[in-house]
C-alpha cells in the first residue's frame, strides 16, 4: 500500500494546480495517510464480478440533439475577473 | 416572536389564500425576526429584505386580482448559498466565488418562486458543501439555536438553523453525504434528501455530481411534502433529472398500518451514544403503536460506506472544482503571473483547508497508479452497497437508523481531526451512494439537544417516507419542540 509523503502531496497538488505552503504539505501528508489507511478496508473485499457504479441511474434517456440558445455572451462575461473584446482575458501564453 | 413566524408553510398559504393575511405582512414578520435573532445564530450569508418585500407585494397583487393562490403563496424560504437565486450573489461559502453573480437561476429556486415562495436570503454552509458542521464556511460559523456553543451540523447548517430558529418555515439545502439530514437532526427539524434525479441540479453548484441532491428543510412533514410537490420533476436543463411521476404528496394515505420498518441492528451495534440510541428505540416503539411492524435487515457492506464515499466524493470534487481558476468567474489572485501560476495562486488564496484536502485526496485517488486501487475499487463497493439495499427492501418498506451517532458537537471539537468529522457521517452517506431518498425527523432530545430519526426508502418512493413521517408525527410530539427563544 502506498504511504503518503510530502513529495506525494506536492506531486498531486501540481496535478490539481494547487500551490501549497510547506505547512499545508506536512499537514496534508499526515492527514491523507490517516484517511487512506482507513480506506484500505476496501482492498479486502472481493469485487471481481462487480461492475463499477458511476452514478445511481445507469439507464437514463438522452434528449434529442437539437440546437438551442445558450447563455448570452455578455451575461457570461460579466462574471469574469477580466474580459476584453467579448472574450475572457488571461495572461499571455504564447511568446511574441 | 410574532404569531406569524411560528406558523407552518401550509397554514401561511391557507391564510394568504383566504386573504386573512398579506404576503407582505408574513415577509415583514420573518424579516423582523431575522433582524432580532440572526446576530446570535449567523444562519445567513445574505439577507435580502427589499427583494423579499417586492416579491411579496407581487404575490399579493396576483392573489388580490382574484387568481388562485399558488401552492406556496407568501411562504418565506431560505436558500442555501450553493443554489443560484436571480439577482443575488452565490458564494458557496468560498472566497474563490466572492462577488460572483450568477446569470441564471437554479431550477429548484425558480420553481419555488413560481409557486409564490418568497426568498428571504442565502444561508451559510461549509465551503462548497464540504463539511459536517458549517465551520468550513470561509465567512463565519453558524450557531445551533438549541445551544449556541454547538454546531448546527453541515453542510447545510445555515438552512437548518434558520428553520429551527423560526427565521423561515422552509429552506432549501443540498445533500451529498448527509448535508440535509445531519443538520436537520442537529437542529431538531425535518430534512428530506430526495432520490438522486428527483430534483433538477441545474443552478446547483456541483460538489460531487453523482451524489448531490437538493431538498427541503421544514418543521413539519406536511411542509416538506409541499416543497417536494413543487420542486420535484424532470427538467430539460438537467439530463440526469428523472422523468418519473410525481405523486400528490398532500393526499397520501394516513397511518402506518402495514408499514414494515427495517432496522440494520448489526450496523448499529457500536458507536451510537446511549441517549441517542434510547430515542431511536422509542421511535421504533411509536411506529409499532401506529400499526407498523419492525423487522431486522442486513446491510453487510455499510461498514465500508465512509471509505467508499470519501474516495468517490473527493474524486468527483477534484474534477468539478477544476473550474475555479480565476478566468471565468469569481476572484483572481492579484499580481502579475503567468497562466499556470495564476491558476495556482487563485486556488491557493480562494480555497480553504478542507477544500484543498479533498481536492488532494480526490486527485490522488484518480491519479495514475492509484486509480484502480482507490477510485475504481470504490465504484465497485458502491455497487455492492446498492445491492445490499435492493435486497433489504425485499423485506421492508423503510429502513430506520439514528440520523447521527451523537447529538450536535461543540464548535471547534472536531476541526483538527478530519477523519473523526468524516466518521460521524456513517449513517447518512449510504443513501447518497445508492441514490435513495431519506428523511430525518425530530425524535426527542438527548442531553437537551435534538436527536434525528432517519428513514430511507426505495428509489422514487418519497411518498412512503412522507407517509411514514406523517404517521410518526401523529403519535409523537417531538416536531413541536422549539429551541429556547
Q: Using one digit for the tens of pLDDT, what is the confidence trace for B391-450?
A: 999 999 999 999 999 999 999 999 988 888 888 899 999 999 999 999 999 999 999 999
Q: How many residues can be counted in chain A?
A: 96
- Domain extents in chain B: 3-254
All residues of chain A having their beta carbon less than 8 Å from the beta carbon of residue B308 are 42
Rg (CA), chain B: 21
CA distances in angstroms from A89 to A56, A94, B227, B329, listed in the order given: 39, 14, 42, 11
Asked whether residue B359 carries a pLDDT value surpassing 70, the answer given is yes
- Whether CATH 3.90.1300.10 fits B3-254: yes
Q: Is B226 helix (H, G, I), strand (E, B) or coil?
A: helix
Contact B328 A76 (CB under 8 A): yes
What pLDDT is stored for residue B335 in this prediction?
Answer: 83
Q: Using one digit for the tens of pLDDT, what is the confidence trace for B372-381?
A: 999 999 999 9
Residues paired with residue B44 on neighbouring β-strands, in sequence order = B123
Q: How many residues can be counted in chain B?
A: 485
- Please say if B200 is a catalytic residue: no
What pLDDT is stored for residue B485 in this prediction?
Answer: 75
Range of weakest confidence among A11-15, B51-55, B293-297, B333-337: B333-337
Average pLDDT over chain A reads: 89
Judge residue B287's burial from the number of C-beta atoms within 10 Å of its C-beta, 0-12 exposed, 13-18 middle, 19 or more buried: buried
Q: Using one digit for the tens of pLDDT, what is the confidence trace for A44-64?
A: 999 999 999 999 986 666 778
Compute the distance between CA of residue B91 and CA of residue B98 in angstroms, rounded to an integer: 6
Contact A42 B239 (CB under 8 A): no
What pLDDT is stored for residue B219 in this prediction?
Answer: 98
Average pLDDT over chain B reads: 96
Q: Give me the catalytic one of B137, B159, B179, B229.
A: B179
Q: Using one digit for the tens of pLDDT, what is the confidence trace for A26-45?
A: 999 999 999 888 888 899 99
Helix, strand, coil percentages for chain A (3-state, nearest 5) = 40, 5, 55
Contact B419 A35 (CB under 8 A): yes
What pLDDT is stored for residue B2 in this prediction?
Answer: 60
Q: Using one digit for the tens of pLDDT, what is the confidence trace for B435-470?
A: 999 999 999 999 999 999 999 999 999 999 999 999
What pLDDT is stored for residue B109 in this prediction?
Answer: 98
CA–chain centroid gap for B102, Å, is: 21
Judge residue B289's burial from the number of C-beta atoms within 10 Å of its C-beta, 0-12 exposed, 13-18 middle, 19 or more buried: exposed
* Banded pLDDT at A96 (limits 50, 70, 90): low
Compute the distance between CA of residue A90 and CA of residue A83 in angstroms, rounded to an integer: 8
All residues of chain A having their beta carbon less than 8 Å from the beta carbon of residue B326 are 81
Q: Using one digit for the tens of pLDDT, what is the confidence trace for B201-232?
A: 999 999 999 999 999 999 999 999 999 999 99
Closest to B364 measured CA to CA, from B410, B326, B310, B293: B310
**Percent residues over pLDDT 70 in chain A:** 93
* Cell matching residue B27: 415577509
- Please say if B210 is a catalytic residue: no
- Please say if B209 is a catalytic residue: no
* Cell matching residue B164: 429551527
Reported pTM: 0.97
* Cell matching residue B214: 437538493
Scanning every residue of chain A, which has its alpha carbon at the shortest distance from the alpha carbon of B431?
A56
What pLDDT is stored for residue B222 in this prediction?
Answer: 97
Phi/psi of residue B390, nearest 5 degrees: -55, -45
* Cell matching residue B346: 487563485
State the number of CA atoms in the 13 A half-sphere of A38 facing the CB. Answer: 20
Domain A6-42: give its CATH code. Answer: 1.10.20.60
Say how many Å lie between the first and final Cα of chain B, rounded.
8
Contact B380 A47 (CB under 8 A): yes
* Banded pLDDT at B166 (limits 50, 70, 90): very high
All residues of chain B having their beta carbon less than 8 Å from the beta carbon of residue A12 are 360, 363-364, 367
Contact B196 A56 (CB under 8 A): yes
Q: What is the dihedral of CA B96, B318, B306, B187, to 10 degrees?
A: 20
- CB distance from B301 to chain A under 8 Å? yes
Compute the distance between CA of residue B405 and CA of residue B151 in angstroms, rounded to an integer: 15
CA distances in angstroms from A87 to B199, B237, B332, listed in the order given: 33, 25, 16
Q: Using one digit for the tens of pLDDT, what is the confidence trace for B269-317?
A: 888 999 999 999 999 999 999 999 999 999 999 999 999 999 999 999 9
* Cell matching residue B117: 415562495
All residues of chain A having their beta carbon less than 8 Å from the beta carbon of residue B243 are 61
All residues of chain A having their beta carbon less than 8 Å from the beta carbon of residue B355 are none
Range of weakest confidence among A65-69, B82-86, B291-295, B394-398: A65-69
Mean pLDDT of B158-171: 98
Number of H helices, E strands in chain B: 15, 11
Residue B429 near residue B165 (C-beta atoms within 8 A): no
- CB distance from B350 to chain A under 8 Å? no
B4: closest CA of chain A, how far (Å) = 38
All residues of chain A having their beta carbon less than 8 Å from the beta carbon of residue B328 are 76, 79-80, 88
Closest residue to B373, CB basis, from A18, A24, A43: A43
Scanning every residue of chain A, which has its alpha carbon at the shortest distance from the alpha carbon of B103?
A75
Residue B59 near residue B26 (C-beta atoms within 8 A): no
Mean pLDDT of B61-70: 91
What pLDDT is stored for residue B1 in this prediction?
Answer: 45
Name residues whose C-beta falls within 8 Å of residue B14's C-beta, 6 or more positions apart in sequence.
none
Residue B152 near residue B143 (C-beta atoms within 8 A): yes
Rg (CA), chain A: 22
Pairing outcome for strands B76-80 and B170-174: parallel
Name residues whose C-beta falls within 8 Å of residue B168's C-beta, 6 or more positions apart in sequence.
B30, B76, B77, B78, B120, B162
Asked whether residue A4 carries a pLDDT value surpassing 90, the answer given is no
* Cell matching residue B471: 404517521
* Cell matching residue B128: 462548497
- DSSP structural state of residue B252: P
Contact A61 B303 (CB under 8 A): no
Q: What is the full DSSP assignment across B260-307?
A: EEEE-GGGGSSS--HHHHHHHHHHHHHHHHTT-EEEE---TTGGGHHH
Asked whether residue A68 carries a pLDDT value surpassing 90, the answer given is no
Mean pLDDT of B44-50: 98
A77: closest CA of chain B, how far (Å) = 7
Structure ipTM: 0.94
- Domain extents in chain A: 6-42
List b or e across B83-117, with b for residues whose CB sees 16 or more CB atoms inside 10 angstroms: bbbbebbbbbbbbbbeebebbebbbbbbbbbebbb
Amino acid at each position: 500500500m502506498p504511504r503518503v509523503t510530502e513529495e506525494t502531496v506536492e506531486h498531486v497538488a501540481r496535478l490539481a494546480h494547487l500551490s501549497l505552503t510547506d505547512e499545508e504539505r506536512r499537514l496534508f501528508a499526515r492527514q491523507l495517510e490517516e484517511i487512506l489507511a482507513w480506506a484500505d478496508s476496501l482492498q479486502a473485499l472481493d469485487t471481481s464480478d462487480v461492475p463499477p457504479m458511476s452514478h445511481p441511474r445507469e439507464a437514463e434517456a438522452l434528449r434529442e440533439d437539437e440546437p438551442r440558445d445558450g447563455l448570452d455572451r455578455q451575461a457570461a462575461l460579466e462574471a469574469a475577473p477580466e474580459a476584453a473584446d467579448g472574450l475572457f482575458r488571461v495572461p499571455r501564453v504564447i511568446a511574441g | 416572536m410574532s404569531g406569524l413566524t411560528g406558523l407552518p408553510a401550509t397554514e401561511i398559504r391557507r391564510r394568504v389564500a383566504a386573504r386573512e393575511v398579506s404576503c407582505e405582512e408574513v415577509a415583514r414578520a420573518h424579516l423582523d425576526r431575522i433582524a432580532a435573532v440572526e446576530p446570535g445564530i449567523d444562519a445567513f450569508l445574505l439577507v435580502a429584505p427589499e427583494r423579499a418585500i417586492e416579491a411579496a407585494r407581487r404575490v399579493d397583487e396576483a392573489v388580490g386580482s382574484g387568481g388562485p393562490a399558488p401552492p406556496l403563496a407568501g411562504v418565506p424560504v431560505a436558500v442555501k448559498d450553493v443554489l443560484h437565486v436571480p439577482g443575488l450573489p452565490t458564494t458557496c461559502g468560498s472566497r474563490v466565488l466572492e462577488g460572483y453573480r450568477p446569470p441564471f437561476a437554479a431550477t429548484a429556486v425558480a420553481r419555488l418562486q413560481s409557486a409564490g415562495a418568497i426568498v428571504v436570503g442565502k444561508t451559510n454552509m461549509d465551503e462548497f458543501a464540504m463539511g459536517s458542521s458549517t465551520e468550513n464556511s470561509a465567512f463565519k460559523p453558524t450557531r445551533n439555536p438549541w445551544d449556541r456553543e454547538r454546531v448546527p451540523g453541515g453542510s447545510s447548517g445555515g438552512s437548518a438553523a434558520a428553520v429551527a430558529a423560526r427565521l423561515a418555515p422552509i429552506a432549501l439545502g443540498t445533500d451529498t453525504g448527509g448535508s440535509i439530514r445531519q443538520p436537520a437532526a442537529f437542529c431538531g427539524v425535518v430534512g428530506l434528501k430526495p432520490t438522486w434525479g428527483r430534483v433538477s441540479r441545474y443552478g446547483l453548484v456541483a460538489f460531487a455530481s453523482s451524489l448531490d441532491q437538493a431538498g427541503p428543510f421544514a418543521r413539519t412533514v406536511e411542509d416538506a411534502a409541499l416543497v417536494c410537490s413543487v420542486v420535484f420533476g424532470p427538467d430539460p436543463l438537467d439530463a440526469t433529472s428523472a422523468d418519473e411521476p410525481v405523486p400528490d404528496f398532500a393526499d397520501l394515505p394516513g397511518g402506518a398500518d402495514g408499514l414494515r420498518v427495517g432496522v440494520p441492528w448489526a450496523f448499529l451495534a457500536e458507536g451510537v451514544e446511549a441517549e441517542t440510541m434510547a430515542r431511536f428505540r422509542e421511535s421504533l416503539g411509536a411506529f409499532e403503536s401506529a400499526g407498523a411492524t419492525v423487522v431486522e435487515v442486513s446491510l453487510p457492506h455499510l461498514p465500508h460506506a465512509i471509505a467508499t464515499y470519501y474516495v468517490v466524493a473527493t474524486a468527483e470534487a477534484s474534477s468539478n472544482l477544476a473550474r475555479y481558476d480565476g478566468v471565468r468567474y469569481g476572484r483572481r489572485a492579484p499580481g502579475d503571473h503567468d497562466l499556470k501560476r495564476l491558476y495556482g495562486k487563485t486556488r491557493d488564496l480562494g480555497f480553504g483547508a478542507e477544500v484543498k484536502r479533498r481536492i488532494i485526496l480526490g486527485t490522488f485517488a484518480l491519479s495514475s497508479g492509484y486509480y484502480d486501487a482507490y477510485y475504481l475499487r470504490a465504484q465497485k463497493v458502491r455497487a455492492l452497497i446498492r445491492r445490499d439495499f435492493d435486497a433489504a427492501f425485499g423485506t421492508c418498506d423503510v429502513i430506520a437508523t439514528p440520523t447521527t451517532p451523537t447529538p450536535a458537537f461543540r464548535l471547534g471539537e472536531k476541526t483538527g481531526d478530519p477523519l473523526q468529522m468524516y466518521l460521524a457521517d456513517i449513517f447518512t452517506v449510504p443513501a447518497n451512494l445508492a441514490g435513495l431518498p431519506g428523511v430525518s425527523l425530530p425524535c426527542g432530545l438527548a442531553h437537551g439537544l435534538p436527536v434525528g430519526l432517519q428513514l430511507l426508502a426505495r428509489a422514487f418512493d418519497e411518498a412512503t417516507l412522507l407517509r411514514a413521517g406523517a404517521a410518526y408525527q401523529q403519535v409523537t410530539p417531538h416536531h413541536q419542540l422549539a429551541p429556547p427563544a
